[in-house]
Amino acid sequence: MIPISQAPIYPQEILKTTSEYFKTSANSRNNSTAYAKFRDEISNYLNCKYVNLTCSGFSGLYTIMRAYDLKKGDEVIVPAYTCKDVLRLVTTMGLKLKLVDIEPYTYNMDPDSLNKEISSKTRVVIATHMFGYPCSIDKITEISHDHGAMVIEDACQSMGAEYKEKKVGTYGDAGLFSLNMGKPITTIHGGIVCTDDSELSNKVSAINDTFKKYGFMHQIKTFTYMFGYSLCNVNAFYSLVYSLMGNKNLGETNSISYSELGDLMYKYTEFQASLGVKQLSKLDAYNNARIKNASYLMENLDKDGLFFPEVSEQMKPAYSRFPIYFENISRENCNKLINSFINSGIEVTPYLPESLPHLYNEKSSDFPIAEQMTNKTLTVPTHPNMDKKDLDKIVEILNHRFHVLH
């Protein structure tokens, strides 16, 4: 089984990182040597002044919103198509959630919809770069700042992507990246908060300092996850894991980072930072492979009834996965198509099984594009471990099986 998303880690890489970590003196580990190196290299890579590392992407979002001193009932705008746990975190913190519609085929926040819904009551706008595809962050930031709202860029799926020759995550007041499984690079768990605002960075750092350190048993658990995840680079092993987990994606299953807010209040570890340094050095190579694979799909897929994001010259997507909108397909035929992929050994998912407005008791008619994209979109893999044979299999299924169903 070919996984839907993957940042390659290999067993020898895990073992080497572990060996290097334990060879380092306890004094060096206590002084957070690897943490500082990883943080500084991220800062240089993004060309961003201040970076904080967190135990997960959601922990990063939580610390940013706490650093903004948001009060219960403060309004936060979120796109109506994004990771559902972002919405859950906003509401769990007692904040007022407001959804805005998205653009067709980009799956990103529509600036025009934002302009209609934002007001002086809005404290924060969370702008997501879905699937590694940059949103119109300059317009979103301008609209938000005109109304006195702060912008958090959710670039969890998009590390390394660029918009107008600048890395996404560095346009807003704060940027957020995830290092969880299934992201562009991974340390199994982890998050990155970046900003050019020294006051905000100091507040995030101060909040992080109050969090607990993971115990020894949790670090053993993280190592076990790392080693198991590295074995999933072998498709046969991943097929076994996939079936044992009831046909659930490994990355998606474990990226649900919290059941309560206390789960977010832990520190990022030195051991993970050691692996992070190695992963960051490979990010551009991984993303170039994803871009190459996505380009191959766009060039070879029969576009009759299929739509996917158009790439303008001012954008460099990272393609953490490749979304495809099916113009005329029923839910029944959509499920048949998913089964065709699974039977062929390729993991394909709809990303959102149901619309976010529906989950939060909003009128679906108020978010027509998000509703439409949710119901008729499937995502296919583009990760670096795929070869031409895998891509040709995707093309064959979509160019033949889909049109039979269609």
Q: What is the pLDDT of residue 137?
A: 98
Q: Are 46 and 167 in contact (CB under 8 A)?
A: yes
**What pLDDT does 28 receive?**
58
Give the per-residue pLDDT at 404.
Answer: 59
pLDDT at 319: 96
pLDDT in tens, 128-165: 999 999 999 999 999 999 999 999 999 999 999 999 99
- CB under 8 Å to 335, separation ≥6 — which residues? none
Domains and CATH numbers, the chain: 11-209 (3.40.640.10), 283-405 (3.90.1150.10)
In this structure, the number of other CB atoms found within 10 A of the CB of residue 294 comes to 24
| 276 CB-near residues (< 8 Å, 6+ apart) | 34, 38, 53, 179, 185, 187, 190
Token digits for 372?
Answer: 């439409």
pLDDT for residue 212 = 93
Judge whether 284 and 384 are in contact, CB under 8 Å: no
- With a cut of 50, which residues of the chain have pLDDT below it? 251-257
pLDDT for 254: 40
Classified as helix, coil or strand, 160 is coil
